[in-house]
Structure 1
Amino acid sequence: MRVTLLAKRYAQALFELALEGNILENVSKDMILVEEVIDENKELRLLLNNPVIDAHKKTRVLDKIFAGKLEELSLKFILLIARKGREKYIPYISKAFNSIYKEHKNIVDVTFTTAYKSDKEVKDGVLKTLEKITNKNIELQELIDDELIGGYIVNLEDYQYDASVKTQLKRMRKEFSKNLFIKKY
């Protein structure tokens, strides 16, 4: 079974339980936390991916790390996955869960990259414009890349709108480098 399919099935089951229990927001935060903890902790990742270490030890480690920090449903779910020997898929399940959650809440991720920290007016304007265009709630992540010189780049799902000075200069350089005296057929 492919990892993505497996992750989606587990994530969908958790999503339905959280929705039924009216704790969807909390479980979503839990899955973000679980994903971050595993991504940031190399030793934990190695432990979860190690086939030599038995599932009982992995379950105890996960319980010690997350007990008291997660909703009861989230903790039981993660421990169940570990007991079933599928603990290495927990990060994928977390990502899949949050993807399902965002789809349910009509949220789309947008990356807004500028050369410098933009003020609140600019961010609010971008948010309003994108919400109007997409008819979705926007979750804006702002990045700073001083190589852009000026302007901005907006990444929305599979689309990229590049209005940076860096890109405009590249286009101008390309146009000026063309030999205008040679005919093109």
Structure 2
Amino acid sequence: MAIIKEGLRPGGRSARVQESVHSAVRELLEAHERSSVTVPMIAARAGVTPSTIYRRWGDLSVLLADVALARMRPDSEPANTGSLRGDLQAWAEQYLDEMSSEPGRNMMRDVQCSQTPGYCVSILSGQFQAIVDRYPDNTPPSVDRLINLLAAPTVFRILFASAPLQVEELHELIELALQ
């Protein structure tokens, strides 16, 4: 008698539970103060038991990090303005705008609890790689250089300074990265 092994089905029960819980978290964070959101509230909204959440995510901070990481995945390729400088400016200005908002700041704080270190850098690397791949004749800066000179100071200032970078400062960093 042959034994048939079945793997996890994409889009199966596990995916439905994850989507339901993620949706519940997003809805609750829009409707309530972040500090008042609890696992039982999320479970009730998602139609699962709290033990399902604890079994899958461990605790609230890990769940919030998972939701934040899912939200950080870009919906589309970076803007194509026709020039490397223009693409970097469009990317940097959008990133600054999104991440310096209250939801963006919360998302970055949540990601710090992620169980997949380096995931944010891989997302940013993919965005920068898509930009530099458009301009192979320009000898574009490396992806690491762009992360170090554009993304890192932007995130640092948003999280730890009294004010985020100004757009003019971003443009100066782009000029530095292109040297």
User: How does the TM-score come out when normalised to structure 2?
Assistant: 0.31
- Which has more helix, going by share of residues? 2
User: How does the TM-score come out when normalised to structure 1?
Assistant: 0.30
Largest Rg, 1 or 2: 1
